[in-house]
Structure 1
Amino acid sequence: MWSSLPSPRQVVWRVLKMWLVAVLGIVAGLMVTTKVRKVLRGHRAHGFPVTPPTVVATPRGEATTYTYGDDLFGDMIAAIEAAERRVFFESFIVKSDAEGRRFKAALMDAAARGVDVYVVYDAFANLVVRRSFFDFGPRVRVLRYPVYNAGFRPFSLRHWGRDHRKILVVDDDVAFIGGYNVGSLYATSWRDTHLRLTGSAVWDLANAFIDFWNMLRPEEAIHGSGSTDWDPRVRMHRNIPRQLVFPIRNMYLEAIDRATGHIMITAAYFIPDHDILEALLQARVRGVKVDIIVPEVSNHVVTDWLSRGFYGRLLRAGVRIHRYKDHMVHAKTCTVDGQWTTVGTANIDRLSLSGNYEINVEVVDAALARHMEEVFARDLTNCAELTLLDWEERWIVSRACELLLAPLRPLL
């Protein structure tokens, strides 16, 4: 009689299989329903609030803020076309559509007139793009960050992580950094944030590109220069998995802990770890106002549902969550107390804060923070606030899905 009972190992295995089947079913269902919602959303979407490019003086040069891809891409192309000495271009995604071809042509034309052109892209992020698209000719040096980079050390954290950075540096005179990938979709249909920098801060982005290139291509090393500017009010923070260095996470924690008035976060994918979540909750205990903008429906539906697992604690603590409607908001920005700003490539999730190659600029400057707060306020006009009452009355099936998906949080 007793011999017919399953062993503890068999019970665990059966439960695990049941969970996996349930998760796969949930993911498949979410993907289908999200596709339908995006089609319906596309029929009613007629643009979103845009803040025109705005120039602000910072302690280390001018910063121009972009919230619309078409504006940004035009200025990036113009910078490449004006290049005289060298161009560093790095992007997580480069679509082979009209926008991608426009960038490719500009980079090839620059190389043809004698400019040193360096291109870096992530192979995994561009698996759907034909590899031949990244053939820029013999005059352009191209680094394809490989799909698999761990070799015979598959469990080494130093050799995992994607190159999620988006950088353009031209002639050490102008640089661009932010959340925008290159593609026609991003030009008009996604809400993102990018900065154009001039002045001494350009050196920091050029140096970040050079260090990454030289780490992977030491035989083709780029020779950089030093900098006499040590002003800490504008700094670049780089996550470097190869060195197990992840300063962007600490930058967020320090800024949140300093807050006395308000925190405004725009996050494409919001899956905070324990420490960041607790820092936000402690800020509320101090009376700090915390507002977070997230997509109503992002391009990664599972991420949306993993993010939902944190909404209850945040809402009960008085954090205000605003869901961006009808378009994908892909920005990665934060302002604190009208003094501190960050814009960059890192999302508030494990992959960005302790996994990928990322770069964020940190600016301590009231003028830029004030402008970013204006951008945030304009974005709020396209948001619907999620209230605690709405959250507590959500469908019981939604609660079950959140519970079943919760174990996936550490993976993202």
Structure 2
Amino acid sequence: MLNSMPSPRRIVWEVVKAWLIAVTLTVVGIMTTTKVRKVLRGQRAHGFPVTAPQSVQTSRGAATTYTYGDDLFDDMISAIEAAEHRVFFESFIVKGDAEGRRFKAALQAAAARGVQVYVVYDGFANLVVRPSFYRFAPGVHVLRYPIYNAGLKPFTPRRWGRDHRKILVVDDTVGFVGGYNIGSTYATQWRDTHVRITGSAVWDLANAFIDFWNTLRPGEAIVGTGSTDWDPRVRIHRNIPRQLVFPIRNMYLEAIDRATRRIKITAAYFIPDSDILGALLEARARGVEIDIIVPEISNHVVTDWLSRGFYGRLLEAGVRIHRYRDHMVHAKTCTIDGEWTTIGTANIDRLSLSGNYEINVEVVDPALAAHLEAVFARDLTNCAELTPADWERRWFVSRICELLLSPLRPLL
């Protein structure tokens, strides 16, 4: 009696099952070893380089850059305390710790003196925070972006994006946007970047908040205002998954295509899609110098390994990769040719560029670009450059892990 051959479906299933088991074991192993490394790192961790807040006058108002959470949070609280008319506050994460309570108290105090206060936070990102923390005093309008927002259409991409934005607008005269979430850890232990803007560009931030709120809460609509300023040198780009609108990705592609001299990127999670990777490689081929700062060990270790899958091609092309040591770098910034700058909430990965609600400010201004390049240079003092020789000497086990995890790239 001849042994029957397994069916093609059975073979495919066995291969998929073997890969899933291998990936699971790989992820567990990576997370375990990374946890040990973080403990050891914490024992020897030192402070990281900080650039003091600095203001630059742009064509649409002043832009002040922050690279240390304590400085930023103090100025955000001061802005809320000075509010007279209305406050829009939106954050992906608001921890229920001392820093989170400080913001909550300031928002409630503003509402108590008659200021219209609106608060938005992401339900999924804050699952670990006690629900009671988000019970605000009367007068504070609160929107919890739902964990599940697809309703009876679970497979529609329009409903799966998280609200990853971080926005504060006070009295339509001052606005804050960038990578900082709210929490004590972010105040002193993470290296991130935020920007404070004044002038006509604040309208764009306020309008982004109003549109989002009115879409989710049409019965409590906020009345917006128009703007007479059409100056394109300072623009706010916002991803709107519900409308399948993702301009931040296009912003990056167009800016990279314009580069003639240098590109400097700081990325918390660097998992570029084929178009952005191709644009960077094409820029390098025409002689553009490209430097990228990434975390040595981030708070999402799997993304580190997915990012590593691109290092070989980048290093081979002459892109310089710098790994930030001992602390998490969470910034999402880029400067090009000393003229163009973006600061915002969007990472260079699929989730941010074609998935989540995100918001970035784009500024064409040599003074701001020069300041961000100075910040980049200071950050480099806390980095170790990954050379092609270092990369070639990595362990064989590391190469296997990169290969096993590579199919996950389109998911993140």
Once the two structures are TM-superposed, the CA of residue 2 in structure 1 deviates from its matched residue by: 4.1
Percent identical among aligned pairs is: 81
Q: Which residue of structure 1 aligns with residue 337 of structure 2?
A: 337
User: Structure 1, residues 240-299: CA drift from partner, whole Å, max 9, x if none?
Assistant: 000000000000000000000000000000000000000000001100000000000000
Q: Which residue of structure 2 aligns with residue 126 of structure 1?
A: 126
- 1:4-403 alignment runs, 5 A limit: 4-403=4-403
Structure 2 CA distance for aligned equivalents of residues 34 and 54 of structure 1: 35
Unpaired stretches in structure 2, ≥5 consecutive residues: none
Instruction: Indicate the SS of the match to 1:120.
Output: strand
Structure 1 CA distance for aligned equivalents of residues 95 and 33 of structure 2: 26
Structure 2 CA distance for aligned equivalents of residues 47 and 114 of structure 1: 41
Structure 2 CA distance for aligned equivalents of residues 307 and 330 of structure 1: 15
Deviates more, 1:82-91 or 1:37-46: 37-46
The CA RMSD measured in Å over matched residues stands at 0.6
The residue type equivalent to 1:210 in the other structure is: I
Once the two structures are TM-superposed, the CA of residue 30 in structure 1 deviates from its matched residue by: 1.0
User: Structure 1, residues 199-224: CA drift from partner, whole Å, max 9, x if none?
Assistant: 11111100000000001000000000
Structure 1 CA distance for aligned equivalents of residues 6 and 19 of structure 2: 18
User: Structure 1, residues 328-349: CA drift from partner, whole Å, max 9, x if none?
Assistant: 0000000000000000000000
Once the two structures are TM-superposed, the CA of residue 5 in structure 1 deviates from its matched residue by: 2.7
Structure 1 CA distance for aligned equivalents of residues 155 and 295 of structure 2: 33
User: Structure 1, residues 39-73: CA drift from partner, whole Å, max 9, x if none?
Assistant: 11111111100000001111100000000000000
Structure 2 CA distance for aligned equivalents of residues 32 and 171 of structure 1: 47
The residue type equivalent to 1:20 in the other structure is: L
Structure 1 CA distance for aligned equivalents of residues 2 and 320 of structure 2: 55
The residue type equivalent to 2:278 in the other structure is: E
Structure 1 CA distance for aligned equivalents of residues 5 and 324 of structure 2: 52
The residue type equivalent to 1:169 in the other structure is: V
Once the two structures are TM-superposed, the CA of residue 378 in structure 1 deviates from its matched residue by: 0.2
Structure 1 CA distance for aligned equivalents of residues 58 and 32 of structure 2: 46
Structure 2 CA distance for aligned equivalents of residues 133 and 257 of structure 1: 46
Once the two structures are TM-superposed, the CA of residue 131 in structure 1 deviates from its matched residue by: 1.1
Unpaired stretches in structure 1, ≥5 consecutive residues: none
User: Structure 1 segments of 4 or more deviating over 3 A?
Assistant: 1-4
Instruction: Indicate the SS of the match to 1:362.
Output: strand
Structure 2 CA distance for aligned equivalents of residues 35 and 101 of structure 1: 29
Structure 2 CA distance for aligned equivalents of residues 392 and 9 of structure 1: 38
The residue type equivalent to 1:58 in the other structure is: T
User: Structure 1, residues 86-116: CA drift from partner, whole Å, max 9, x if none?
Assistant: 0000000000000000000000000000000
Structure 1 CA distance for aligned equivalents of residues 107 and 2 of structure 2: 73
Once the two structures are TM-superposed, the CA of residue 11 in structure 1 deviates from its matched residue by: 1.2
Give TM-score scaled by structure 1 length. Answer: 0.99
Structure 2 CA distance for aligned equivalents of residues 46 and 315 of structure 1: 29
Count of aligned pairs between the two proteins: 412
The residue type equivalent to 1:69 in the other structure is: G
Structure 2 CA distance for aligned equivalents of residues 110 and 293 of structure 1: 39
